[in-house]
């Protein structure tokens, strides 16, 4: 599940990152490491703390306790020149509405020594941006495209996107994803979303947050390999054994069929384990699960169990 990476390889590194507003803790001791080059998707339901997490990473908010580093810089020192290497786009961001797209480009260009005029023209053409139109007169999709364009034109080392595709039509969403993937080789992408389907196709790593806690964080392929939907057909209806393996989630019986989700699938070892629990099983089916089903299973199982489920090597931090 995890790879050994040094801190120099990390684009994002958090340590017990916690944020409270008054008495309400909205983020609880988040430990996360995102290696350079990853396309990391932070998913979770609305109110899970994803946006707060990103605002902490961007030094828009300050942590209550704990800390984080982005591109090797402590987030509380994240200002000025460091943002030459970071592109940030958020669905909630207030854009300079009174400016035209062209004026915004002209204004932002001098801020970035690495601004690529050729790439700027390419993005303008690719997104079909109307340079003479004011941002306040643009559609939501077009505004997001403009935000992408001015965040990609200087080839940032890290692109942070907060719910970038929310409310966009599929065409625009695909255009934006395509533009991101074209630059994925030279950058790290960290994005949040509550829509699993939109990130499943391109994220290399995924982290799941709920109620301010990071339930797990790992590589997509590892996650997909780890989960199986299991269906065991027994010769006759029988009660479930009192003690089931801890990796089995949402275990239920319907007549002769026992169903559960295996969260630590290890091939033959897991199959032998199932055969041990149900020695007289007539049939056992192991099916891979789509990301959406995995998250639903996790959500239904309950926060405490899910939290314990996350296993990491080394310092206990989930790594991407």
Q: Which residues bind another protein (CB under 8 A)?
A: 55, 58-61, 79-84, 86, 88, 90, 92-96, 98-99, 103, 107-108, 110-112
Instruction: Compute the least distance from the CB of residue 88 to another protein, in Å.
Output: 4
Could you give the angle at the alpha carbon of 218 between the alpha carbons of 213 and 224, nearest 5°? 115
- Say whether 192 sits in a helix, a strand or coil: strand
Instruction: Compute the least distance from the CB of residue 107 to another protein, in Å.
Output: 5
Instruction: Compute the least distance from the CB of residue 82 to another protein, in Å.
Output: 7
Is the separation of the CB atoms in 35 and 158 below 8 Å?
A: no
Burial class (CB in 10 A: 0-12, 13-18, 19+), 250: middle
44/87 with CB nearer another protein: 87
CA distance linking residue 264 with residue 217, whole number of Å = 14
Is the separation of the CB atoms in 270 and 278 below 8 Å?
A: no
Q: Which two tokens stand for residue 16?
A: 């017990």
Listed residue (54, 55, 70) closest to 12, CA to CA: 70
- Residues composing the chain: 320
Instruction: Compute the least distance from the CB of residue 109 to another protein, in Å.
Output: 9
Listed residue (178, 183, 162, 191) closest to 114, CA to CA: 183
Instruction: Compute the least distance from the CB of residue 78 to another protein, in Å.
Output: 9
150/172 with CB nearer another protein: 150
Phi, psi of 260 (to 5 degrees): -160, 170
State the CB neighbour count (10 A cutoff) for residue 313. Answer: 12
86/199 with CB nearer another protein: 86
99/240 with CB nearer another protein: 99
Residues 6+ apart with CB under 8 A from 118: none
Instruction: Compute the least distance from the CB of residue 128 to another protein, in Å.
Output: 22
212/318 with CB nearer another protein: 212
111/137 with CB nearer another protein: 111
82/247 with CB nearer another protein: 82
**Distance between alpha carbon 126 and the CA centroid of its chain, in Å?**
26
Instruction: Compute the least distance from the CB of residue 263 to another protein, in Å.
Output: 36
């Amino acid at each position: 599940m995890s790879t050994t990476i040094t801190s120099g390889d990390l684009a994002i590194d958090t340590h017990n990152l916690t944020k409270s507003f008054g008495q309400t803790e909205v983020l609880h001791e988040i430990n996360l490491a995102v290696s350079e080059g990853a396309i990391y998707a932070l998913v979770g339901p609305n109110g899970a703390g994803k946006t707060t997490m990103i605002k902490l990473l961007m030094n828009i908010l300050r942590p209550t306790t704990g800390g984080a580093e982005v591109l090797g810089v402590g987030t509380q020192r994240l200002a000025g020149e460091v943002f030459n290497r970071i592109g940030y786009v958020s669905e909630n961001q207030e854009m300079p509405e009174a400016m035209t797209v062209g004026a915004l480009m002209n204004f932002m260009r001098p801020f970035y020594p690495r601004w690529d005029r050729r790439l700027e023209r390419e993005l303008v053409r690719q997104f079909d941006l109307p340079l003479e139109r004011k941002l306040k007169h643009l559609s939501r999709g077009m505004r997001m495209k403009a935000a992408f364009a001015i965040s990609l034109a200087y080839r940032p080392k890290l692109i942070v996107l907060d719910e970038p595709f929310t409310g966009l039509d599929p065409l625009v969403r695909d255009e934006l994803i395509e533009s991101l993937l074209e630059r994925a080789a030279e950058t790290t992408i960290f994005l949040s979303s509550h829509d699993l389907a939109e990130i499943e196709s391109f994220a290399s790593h995924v982290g799941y947050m709920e109620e301010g806690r990071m339930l797990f964080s790992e590589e997509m392929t590892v996650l997909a390999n780890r989960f199986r939907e299991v269906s065991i057909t027994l010769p006759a209806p029988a009660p479930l054994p009192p003690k089931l393996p801890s990796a089995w989630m949402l275990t239920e019986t319907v007549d002769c069929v026992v169903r559960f989700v295996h969260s630590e699938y290890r091939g033959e070892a897991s199959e032998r384990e199932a055969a041990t629990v149900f020695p007289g099983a007539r049939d056992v089916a192991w099916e891979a699960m789509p990301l959406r089903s995995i998250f639903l299973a996790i959500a239904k199982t309950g926060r405490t169990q899910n939290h314990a489920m996350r296993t990491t090597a080394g310092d206990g931090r989930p790594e991407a």
